[in-house]
Every structure is written in C-alpha cells, then in structure tokens.
C-alpha cells in the first residue's frame, strides 16, 4: 500500500470517508489542508492531512478504515506527514484529539496548552470551531535536516 497525495478531485470521497469516521469536515474545502492517503481497489482506506500556517502546521484527519487498523498504517501516515512538514520547513506540528492521545504520545507528541499555541493555529477553524474544548492539545517540534559540508 502506497501513500499518495490527494487532490481536489478526491475531496468528495475524503469528505465521505471522514464523515463515516465522525471526523470534522466542515472546512476541508476552504482551509489550507493538504490530504494524503491510501486507496485500495479504487476505495479510500486511509487519510491524513497537514493544514499549513507556515512555519507551523496542524496534523489532522488521520483516519484508517476499521478493517485495516492495528497494522501500522496510521503510524506510517503520521511519519509521512512529518516528512512532508520537514520538506516545507515546518518548525512545529500541532493537533487536537479526543480519541488518539496515546497513539500520538508514542509518536513523540506532548501536551501543549491550547491557549499557548501560536495565534495562526488558534485562529484556524480546527482550533476555533471544529474540535470541542475537551479535545487534548498536543504538539511536536520538528528537527530540520541539515546538510552541511565539513572543512576537514
């Protein structure tokens, strides 16, 4: 299974997939969300997204079809999202969750007071309106890959 970047033509299918998983979809057409995912036999089976507010991004909509859960697909999706964020020079990732706190902690995310998140993140639909106040706020600082030449 290969993770691919989805485009605007996939939004209706993404919306349906996320609604079935009871994930927020109200802003997927209007927010700066970049979706990635896996299709199996032309059917969506996994989705993940980065909502970019440079130099920050929100990890959102990491969803795997119930029949494929517990196979490491969600973990691979988060790894890919982090890789894409590094390519885009994102310094820190943020997320809100009501169901996957332990999963993201294992991936290196730590508690972040919602009120201490950058203004760009707090002003996103995800943080302002879509996720309940009870959602756990987490973040992860990204180490940037550095390519330098030694003079030795």
Domain-wise residue ranges, the chain: 4-141
Please give the model's pTM, rounded to 2 decimal places. 0.90
Per residue in 95-132, pLDDT (tens digit) is 999 999 999 999 999 999 999 999 999 999 999 999 99
pLDDT, residue 66, reads 92
Cα-Cα-Cα-Cα dihedral sign, residues 132, 123, 86, 108? negative
CA distance linking residue 14 with residue 19, whole number of Å? 8
3-state secondary structure (DSSP) of residue 148? coil
pLDDT, residue 1, reads 77
Give burial (CB, 10 Å; 0-12/13-18/19+) of 143: exposed
Is 25 a residue whose pLDDT tops 70?
yes
Cβ neighbors of 65 (< 8 A, separation 6 or more) are 44, 45, 46
3-state secondary structure (DSSP) of residue 82? helix
pLDDT, residue 143, reads 80
Tell me yes or no: is domain 4-141 CATH 3.40.50.970. Answer: no
> CA angle, 56 as apex, 33 and 34 as ends, to 5°?
15
Identify the band that residue 55 occupies on the pLDDT scale cut at 50, 70 and 90.
Answer: very high
Is 80 a residue whose pLDDT tops 60?
yes
Looking at every residue in the chain, the average pLDDT score rounds to: 92
pLDDT, residue 150, reads 46
Is 46 a residue whose pLDDT tops 90?
yes
């Amino acid at each position: 299974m290969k993770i691919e970047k989805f485009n605007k033509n996939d939004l209706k299918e993404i919306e349906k997939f996320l609604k079935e998983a009871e994930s927020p979809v109200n802003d997927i057409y209007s927010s700066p969300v970049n979706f990635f995912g896996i299709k199996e036999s032309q059917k969506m089976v996994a989705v993940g997204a980065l909502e970019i507010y440079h130099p920050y991004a929100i990890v959102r909509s990491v969803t795997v079809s119930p029949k494929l859960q517990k196979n490491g697909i969600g973990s691979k999706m988060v790894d890919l999202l982090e890789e894409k964020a590094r390519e885009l020079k994102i310094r820190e990732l943020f997320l809100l969750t009501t169901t996957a706190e332990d999963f993201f902690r294992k991936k290196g995310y730590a508690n972040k007071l919602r009120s201490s998140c950058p203004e760009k993140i707090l002003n996103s639909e995800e943080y302002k309106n879509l996720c309940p106040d009870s959602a756990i706020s987490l973040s992860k600082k990204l180490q940037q890959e550095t390519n330098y030449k030694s003079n030795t």
